[in-house]
Copies of this chain bind each other. A is one copy, B any other.
Amino acid sequence: MVGAASDLNRLGGIPLRLTMRYGFPGPIYPINPRREEIAGLKCYPDVTSLPEAPEFALICTPREDVLPALAQCAERGVRAAAVITSGFAETGAEGVALQKKILELRDTSGMRVLGPNCMGVVHVRSKLMATFTISIRDDDPLIPGAVAIVTQSGAMGACMLTGFQESGSGISSLVSLGNEVDVDFAECVEYFLDDPHTRVICGYLESVRDGERLKQAALRALERDKPIVLLKGGKTEEGARAARSHTAAITTSSDVFDAFAAQYGIQVLESMDAFIEIADFLARSRPIQGNGVGVLSFSGGLGSLAADLSTEAGLALPILAEGTQEKLAGVLPDYAPKDNPVDLVSLMVSKPESQPLKTAGEAVAGDENVDALLFMMGVYHHVGEQIAQEVKALFETSRVPVAFTWMTGPREQIDALRKASVPVFGDYARAIRGLESLISLKNAREAAASRPRLVDTARAEQAKRLMRESIPSPDGFLPAETCAEILDLYGVPRPKETLVETSEEALKTWENYKAPIALKVVSDNLSHKTEAGGVILGLNTPDEVLCAAQKLLALSYDARLLVQEMIEGGLELLVGVSNDPTFGPCVTAGLGGVYVEALDDVARLLPPFEATEAARALSGLRSRVIFDGFRGGPTVQIPLVSDIMVKISELATELEDTVAEMDLNPLIATAEGCIAVDVRIKTNP
């Protein structure tokens, strides 16, 4: 412990006090040139004079002493160091330069570095308490638990640690990342995936350093069934400003991050108590099989509130089976609703001896259409002990997840239940959010399992060759013919079309088609052809065709004409590919038109993804109702659109970063299928 302080209640002293108190089994070496001894331990002037090379060093010296100390550590063969000291990249140019030197030292020595500007690291089972986290209290030793905390904010980590201590689940470890000069968020996730004691990985995240690495870690977390639960800062401009000023990191696009989180089942929560209770619930709950929730409540009003919120969260409240209702009739009076929600009325006042909670809970949880039990109590201090016992039995024996809520209930029994491994929600809204999390995890897990993993290398090679052999426009757009060939390669339907050079050829083509046509100008000088008046629709007389053709040919010296069969009666969609600096390609899809664009009502997915994911993202659009034929409009089959999105996902995956952006605009969708009426592909130089 370099920079150990003799005052065991100060920054440099707390880690020493905690580590000794927890009985860390290895040797501890305080280093402080001004002391002979601290807390009964021999004190050394520097790392060089230690009798052996320590495995791990904690640095809490003043800033100017950090680099020399690290250099000594590296020289002695220390394998890892954590730097608590502040004043690096978070403070400006001088700090940035200093931090760069730490990185250089890591590169030359191979010694791994946590921080700087971090709160250190706690590993409960090995009793390593290399932290000044003030929330570790002498009178309340940390419970070795199943939750690992990885945090880009030390203080938030401290809150979380206390939260999990109070919720009874405890933690396996806490890593405060600070400025992430070396060890980053994704690497810690990877570590805890392999930690047999960790069931849930959670923390505070502001900025993602390596999107691909985090994506792979999230994928493995799904495979291993270890939920990731986050608070995420820096979403809005104001939040990002606050974030930059304290970790000196650039924050990433919140839209793309949200898409990533939704797709990979990462639970991003909006309050600290939801975070604690839901992480705790996920660490202890059974998995869920479907979205049917049985609601059992001590209050009809609460049942109504919960039904509202559950429905809005995409949960269903199936009507309970006749057999279930008969079982309920055995314990509930006639007038108590039994279909779902089930109302316990005032049975815990009038007939507690009938054990109504257990009987009713077992009946509802056992119903064939019920995938989870939402069990909500409030107050009832006078029968608190009985409630706790019945709930504990129910939680332990139920085949489905039990989200138990006890609002303004007795603290003593709630604490006891939590200590006995029964998660207790303090509010119905968080309990419902917890069930939503289970379903989100189930969906993400299933999607990940069926997601295509292999790329078609032959096809990829062919597409890349097509791109190489074509000459893009000065602003990087591929020629229309190349775009068409690439679409054909990936099986995206196009309308019947012919590229011609004169108005006479256009007329002849129309005559051959025997159907209305659209004419579109093709020119290297007009990448935004619609805005330039280069698209004329619905031509169906010789005069119309000739007149339109001449007008378009006059738009540019190199103008040619695309004659296209008109696709009528469908809904105009837009499917695109963009590139995020952190997460790479992102496929978007939504209705065409200015409103949808203004409202940003688009589905976003990171490739590769499969059809179910695309369908779910489309179904979550606010404009979803329009797909079903709103006000007599065209009907669109979501599976058909999802199918196109998957093809574009394959394209984006296989062409990697050679595609800068791409748009199918519009993609016309009808009840029979989708046709890409126009496509633009911009290449990366």
Contacts and interface: CB of A to CB of B under 8 A. Distances in A.
Interface residues of A, number: 103
Nearest to A430: B271
A300 B155 contact: yes
A610 to B, nearest CB: 28
A134 interface: yes
Q: Which 6 A-B pairs have the closest CB atoms?
A: A153-B301, A246-B300, A155-B299, A233-B304, A239-B308, A271-B429
A10 to B, nearest CB: 7
A272 B152 contact: no
Contact of A302 (B134, B156, B232, B379): B156
A451 to B, nearest CB: 30
Contact of A307 (B91, B238, B335, B599): B238
Contacts of A591: 595
A349 B158 CA distance: 12
A162 interface: yes
A267 B324 CA distance: 38
A294 B300 CA distance: 41
A315 B436 CA distance: 29
A222 to B, nearest CB: 25
Given A153-B301, A242-B300, A300-B155, A135 B408 contact: yes
Given A134-B348, A598-B625, 19 more contacts: A135-B378, A137-B381, A151-B301, A153-B301, A155-B300, A162-B379, A234-B304, A236-B308, A239-B305, A239-B311, A243-B301, A246-B343, A247-B300, A272-B378, A274-B429, A411-B411, A598-B623, A598-B626, A599-B622
A626 B156 contact: no
A615 to B, nearest CB: 19
Interface string A353-392: 0000000000000000000000000111110000000000
A27 to B, nearest CB: 27
27 contacts: A10-B349, A11-B350, A86-B335, A132-B346, A134-B348, A134-B380, A134-B382, A137-B382, A155-B299, A155-B301, A155-B302, A156-B301, A159-B407, A206-B301, A206-B304, A236-B312, A238-B311, A239-B304, A243-B304, A245-B343, A272-B429, A273-B273, A594-B631, A595-B596, A595-B623, A595-B626, A598-B623
A238 B11 contact: no
Nearest to A337: B245
A36 B246 CA distance: 75
A434 interface: no
B137 A273 contact: no
Nearest to A319: B241
A137 B242 CA distance: 46
B242 A337 contact: yes
A237 interface: yes
Interface in A314-361: 317, 334-335, 337, 339, 341, 343, 345-346, 348-350
A580 interface: no
B309 A270 contact: yes
Contacts of A378: 135, 155-156, 158-159, 162, 272
Contact of A11 (B86, B308, B349, B598): B349
A304 B382 contact: no
A141 interface: no
Contacts of A237: 311
Contact of A428 (B134, B151, B272, B317): B272
A246 B300 CA distance: 6
A132 B348 CA distance: 12
Contacts of A14: 349
Nearest to A151: B301
Nearest to A299: B155
Contacts of A408: 135, 159, 162-163, 166, 272, 276
A208 interface: no
A304 to B, nearest CB: 3
A245 B300 contact: yes
A227 interface: no
Contacts of A622: 599
